[in-house]
Structure 1
């Protein structure tokens, strides 16, 4: 009789694990982060129209009235797959899949709206944008990733979170020692707590007298 393979421990999916992330360091990486816990136990964070609206709001993108949210959601999922391949390839120093490159280039061909200058009631200038069509929104995200991975200085700052249960790709700020974790408030603190528990357990085992 062959031995049964050991069961893979299940990781509880908490509400926090399903939260949208807007700390990837760029618009396109925030899209990649809408799947959490890659690649071990993927968690979908952009699964319905409500999440689509929340993601657009969090990234500062406004979709034009009349656009089909179901079609846009599906197109973002396709773009996310290509963007994830290209971003992780850049981190790992490998070539992305040709179909991922083609997808990004096809979407980036659409011309996004020109930036607009707005002046508030106190005379302060501010950038403004018009609502985007679905094709323009996809182009903005694709162009962001292309700009990110083709800039050697930015590409060298791409990281993958060291926490196995996370795997988030993020852009290191580059203003000090390279970050090991996507966020100290999340994976960094979790790692510190795990080390503390391990040391406490080891200390307890060492102090327990033998029977």
Structure 2
């Protein structure tokens, strides 16, 4: 029996480490903080600075005094569980009971309700409204994943990038043409360039 085919090797560029916010849902944007899962995972959210950037990018505001390292560890654990569960919708594998238990446990925390206050200048969000404790922030992400799994229409739109190097999970738009690539500017252009090189090589060889 021959050796298994080698996965394509690519350089880990600064762009490969960029945070992604185009997966179509909060929980999938968390999953996307690991790139190139099938060929060599690239960590995109590995320190406090990247954590803060991700929170800003998805519109979550941790309450003052949170511990970045503790929140990172918790989000990394939730990320693994979310990938296990979301990818099962595509390939039909049975998610780990530990993944399901973790997501259910985190979702059990009730996130605080947003509040308004009336001032002389009109209505505005109350001070501190929208800020989340670590437990509440994790709950918001876990609940998003549960909503994704519970919504058949969203589940039908879940797909993975056609690039063998990428395989990012994302939601296709609810209307219009389904996307083959996570991003035309990224994997789509890379695939077109690779196809062009193959055609040139074949022409030269002919």
TM-score (norm 1): 0.88
Superposed, which structure 2 residues align to 1:16-165 within 5 Å?
A: 16-116=15-115, 129-165=129-165
Structure 2 CA distance for aligned equivalents of residues 8 and 145 of structure 1: 30
Structure 1 CA distance for aligned equivalents of residues 129 and 19 of structure 2: 23
Aligned to 1:209: none
SS in 1 for 2:148: helix
Structure 1 CA distance for aligned equivalents of residues 6 and 191 of structure 2: 23
Gaps of 5+ in 2: none
SS in 1 for 2:176: coil
SS in 1 for 2:62: coil
Residue 9 of structure 1 deviates from its aligned partner by 5.6
Structure 2 CA distance for aligned equivalents of residues 87 and 200 of structure 1: 39
Structure 2 CA distance for aligned equivalents of residues 122 and 92 of structure 1: 54
Aligned to 1:193: 193
Aligned to 1:177: 177
SS in 1 for 2:159: strand
CA contact (8 A) 2:116 2:123 kept: no
Structure 2 CA distance for aligned equivalents of residues 24 and 109 of structure 1: 24
TM-score (norm 2): 0.90
Structure 1 CA distance for aligned equivalents of residues 185 and 33 of structure 2: 18
- Equivalent pairs counted in the alignment come to 204
Which structure has the greater CA radius of gyration? 1
Gaps of 5+ in 1: 207-211
Residue 132 of structure 1 deviates from its aligned partner by 0.4
CA deviation map 1:120-147 (0-9, x unaligned)? x997989x94210000000000000000
Structure 2 CA distance for aligned equivalents of residues 8 and 147 of structure 1: 34
Residue 149 of structure 1 deviates from its aligned partner by 1.1
Structure 2 CA distance for aligned equivalents of residues 11 and 152 of structure 1: 35
